[in-house]
Chain A
Amino acid sequence: MTRRRLLVPLLLAMALVGAACGSDDDDDAATTTTGGGDTTTTVAAPTFDAGTTMAALQSKGKIVIGTKFTQLGSGLKNPTTGELEGFDIEIAKLIAIGIYGGTLDTIEDKIDFKETISGVREAVIQGGDVDLVIATYTINENRKKQVDFAGPYVIDGQTVMVKSDNTSIKQLTDLNGKKVCSGTGSTTPDNLKAKNINPSELVLRSTYPECADELRQGRVEAVVTDRGILLGLVEASGGSLKLVDIEVSEEPLGIGLKKGDDAFRDFLNDRLEEIFASGEWAAAFERTIGKLGVATPEPPTLDRYTGTGTATTLATTTTT
């Protein structure tokens, strides 16, 4: 009884506080973007034209971002702290700051991270379950028919991971006739096909730690996917797995959004350019992937494509 009596005023109070915060945001409309990778940098919330996705997100007060929860380096839910860590997470926060203002420390309240494995990325964007997908998502023509991409925000490359004691896989052609693991929905099968590599079996698992297990247990001989993903797995393996210096492909990773929302895409690209120039991008890289021993690269060149691949003009030619 007492509990129910308390609940109503509490909810009212929360609503009032929420409303107060909302009007606060509207008041200081200055669009000052301060640079630097400093986590205490406070950015005021900008104003957007009514009717844009950015304005809608601002008034909703939360952005839903799909990311991976199992990938050290890019997106990992730390099992001890429960916090999300990784480069994709940092990029998500920096994008959100561009919408809501605030600092890297406070912005988390504005983001609702949703776990998004490789295989469902298009579906969750199209279905409106998420506003953005930032999940080691390679930009390619096939996917551009289903969703749009801002970015790339980093160029990754696919490479090969084997057991530390493996000496039989030294170059790409050594993968011929071997059992190889990769993620369901990853670009690996196409990349291998493009280079005329024919593994005896290409096992597709829904997350990459499962591939690492298969490798450790000797069910497959190699795992092929983005370097950023593999570096995290090598780090987590405690020395039992290693990378082989083979370049399988170049993977421009982008931010997935609903197809046709060009204003939102332009905003995202502008925001990326901002963080490239301010050094926040480099700082985010150093905090995450940099810790795995990768030198911070130059920011990539954005791909501001126009009108690529509308579903009506391009026939679907996917074969598996």
Chain B
Amino acid sequence: MEVISDNLGLFLRGMRTTASLTVLSYAAAVVIGAVVASFRVSPVPPLRAVGAFYVSAVRNTPLAVLMVLFFSGFPDAGIIVQSRYVSAIIVLAVYTGAFVAETLRAGVNAVALGQAEASRAIGLTFPQTLVLIVLPQAVRTVVGPLGSIFIALIKNSALAALIGLTELAGATEQLISTTAEPIPIFLATAVAYMMLSIPSSYAVARLERRLAIKR
């Protein structure tokens, strides 16, 4: 246990990086997801095709592959993001964005058809219908799944260690290799991840109750 108290600073820095990485990439993922979901439900066929392609391309590729491809492969094609922190955010956002898009699309489909018909009847355009009428109702029904995506993202962010970022998993890897005491360090890491994800689960549950549609 001494290993943990001796290296608490590294641990806390790792946790902070994991937390900020998760929050920032989730924010970006929600924006990407909303855009892609609106493409997928739009009346314009090419937009629907773009949305469908994005979702199937990203969602069917392992995150580890995307991470390494973006960081180590793309530079050889002339696309380079110098900061490994920004690179990790981009990859996590692009990946998570596909899941957010599918979840929002499910939410949109759950909104009663009469809502869209009524909006059209009072003369709203498709974007207006989507942003003002359908999406707000859609989001309420999928708060739970969106929360699950956030919690999954906390853990997925560990793959940023693959590109040499010292977030929680990266810090763990470094500590183990310098101290050679894997068991207490892995246990501490598991606890640290739970300290991030369990409060998130509670927050999501609360949010879900508050936004629940009263029927």
Contact = CB atoms under 8 A, between A and B. Distances in A.
A, B co-complexed: yes
Given A119-B173, A184-B174, A318-B178, A217 B80 contact: yes
Nearest to A179: B82
Interface string B176-215: 1111111000000000000000000000000000000000
A181 B10 CA distance: 19
A119 B176 contact: yes
A123 B164 contact: no
Contacts of B175: 320
B72 A319 contact: no
Interface in B81-115: 82, 84
A205 B178 CA distance: 14
B75 interface: yes
Contact of A184 (B72, B173, B180, B181): B173
Interface residues of A, number: 32
A122 interface: yes
A315 to B, nearest CB: 8
Contacts of B181: 146, 316
A123 B176 contact: yes
Given A316-B6, A318-B179, A320-B10, A204 B174 contact: yes
A318 B177 contact: no
Mostly, the A contact residues are mixed
Interface in A170-191: 181, 184-186, 189
Interface residues of B, number: 25
A184 B2 contact: no
Nearest to A143: B180
Mostly, the B contact residues are helix
B23 interface: no
A206 B173 contact: yes
A302 interface: no
A219 interface: yes
Contact of A119 (B2, B82, B177): B177
Contacts of B28: none
Interface of A: 118-123, 126, 142-143, 145-147, 181, 184-186, 189, 203-206, 210, 213-214, 217-219, 316-320
Given A119-B177, A123-B180, A217-B75, 4 more contacts: A120-B182, A123-B176, A185-B176, A217-B80
27 contacts: A119-B174, A120-B176, A120-B177, A121-B180, A123-B180, A123-B182, A126-B180, A142-B178, A145-B180, A181-B164, A184-B177, A185-B174, A185-B176, A203-B84, A203-B164, A204-B164, A204-B170, A206-B173, A213-B75, A217-B75, A219-B82, A316-B181, A318-B6, A318-B178, A318-B179, A320-B7, A320-B178
| Chain A to chain B: the 8 pairs with minimum beta-carbon distance, closest first | A185-B177, A122-B180, A119-B177, A146-B180, A217-B75, A123-B182, A318-B179, A205-B164
